[in-house]
Copies of this chain bind each other. A is one copy, B any other.
Amino acid sequence: MFSQRTQGLRPSPIRAILSVIDRPGMVSFAGGLPASDMLPEWSGTVSPEVLQYGPTEGEADLREAVSDNLRSLGLDAPPERVMILSGSQQGIDLTAKLFVDPGTPVAVEYPTYLAALQVLRFYGAGFVELGSPAAERAGVAYIVPTFANPTGACATDATRDRLAEDCLRTGTVLFEDDPYRDLVYEPCDRTPIAARMGGGSWIYQGSFSKTFAPGLRLGYLAASEDLFRHLVVVKQATDLHSSRLSQRIVHEAITAPGWTSRLENLAGFYRSRRDTFEAALQRHLHGLASWETPQGGLFYWLRLDQPIDTRTLLGEAIERNVAFMPGEEFSPGEPDLGTMRLNFSHAGPEEADRGLATLAELLRRPS
């Protein structure tokens, strides 16, 4: 199941020793820790211990808060199997490191998140389409079931059940990436696939970038018992641990009384952006492209009536001050021509209108 490179991987003896040096009375000559007296004076409201080295798995209180949330979603995710990540991009890197050798088949949705494709490809993954016969022999299945990137689609309960069953039957590791689940605008099935993976191998990850602040670079994962400790060793070798200050700030935020209403406000704000965007799309792109209205997340996925390569369109659009993501970039195999991913959360209403009008103008020109 694991990649060749993990064969010789052992936990660092330093970290094994660090686990006992907090014992009262212990004299430690083991680590390379700065003297506590020489840490900078800290004028903030957080504990000065956040300046010292910390545990690879993350801060205990943040792991507990994440665990509470994940358990409420039905996941078998006690605090000791929650790890804090330096952003969920890191979770993709760690998972790829652990499972992907050159030629390892990885099942993905067609299309899917391009930075996941980039990392998996980097470690040598060969992509197979999720649900296809070839996916039966995949080592890992990477899935964004809730408000997928780039399509915005949300998998039904029946689909989620089937994906879990497939992974369990074929012994495939489920890697579920769920950064958008709280950006929800209409009721829809959102129970994680990983909650249906009893007895199987799974990794589930989420992010604080969409609900709190991307600049702090924090995400988290939970994993089944057979995988968790390996992920910790791989994380340790990658960056020791994530910023303790970021962890402290995020812990304060997500356990504050206002957190639930923040999530509701956030969803309300983005729902209204989506509705405005939908109206502008109807105004400008009706008859030029088709799309589904996303029930959550951050993206519209457009299929142009004329299957042009939108990568060539991008340069002209940028000249006219409009940027978008060519859909071709999200394809694990042959580029899917005539597709575009449009983010609706960042641009304000007037900007969105102007940008979509410009795109429509470019698409209407005689080719």
Contacts and interface: CB of A to CB of B under 8 A. Distances in A.
16 contacts: A12-B115, A27-B321, A27-B358, A28-B322, A28-B346, A29-B344, A30-B324, A31-B343, A34-B210, A35-B346, A51-B214, A52-B213, A52-B215, A86-B217, A89-B237, A245-B249
Contacts of A210: 32, 34
A237 B40 contact: no
Residue among A39, A238, A345 facing the most chain B CB atoms (10 A cut-off): A238
A115 B240 CA distance: 10
A123 B287 CA distance: 52
Interface in A288-347: 298-299, 314, 318, 321-326, 329, 341-347
A266 B38 CA distance: 7
A326 B14 CA distance: 10
B214 A35 contact: no
A246 to B, nearest CB: 5
Nearest to A27: B355
A324 to B, nearest CB: 4
A354 interface: yes
A226 interface: no
A244 B269 contact: no
Interface of A: 4-6, 8-10, 12-14, 17, 20-21, 23, 25-40, 44, 49-54, 86-87, 89-90, 93, 97, 102, 114-115, 118-119, 121-124, 149, 209-210, 212-217, 237-246, 249, 253, 262, 265-266, 269-270, 273, 298-299, 314, 318, 321-326, 329, 341-347, 351-352, 354-355, 358
B122 A27 contact: no
A154 B101 CA distance: 39
A341 B322 CA distance: 58
A111 to B, nearest CB: 13
B266 A93 contact: no
A34 B346 contact: yes
Given A20-B323, A27-B352, A215 B245 contact: yes
A213 B158 CA distance: 49
Contacts of A242: 86, 217
Contacts of A241: 217
Nearest to A17: B323
A239 B215 contact: no
A298 B32 contact: yes
B123 A89 contact: no
A237 B27 contact: no
B243 A216 contact: yes
Contact of A87 (B49, B240, B249): B240
Contacts of A6: 122
Contacts of A33: 214, 343, 345-346
Given A13-B114, A86-B243, A245-B245, 6 more contacts: A12-B118, A20-B323, A38-B265, A54-B215, A115-B237, A245-B246
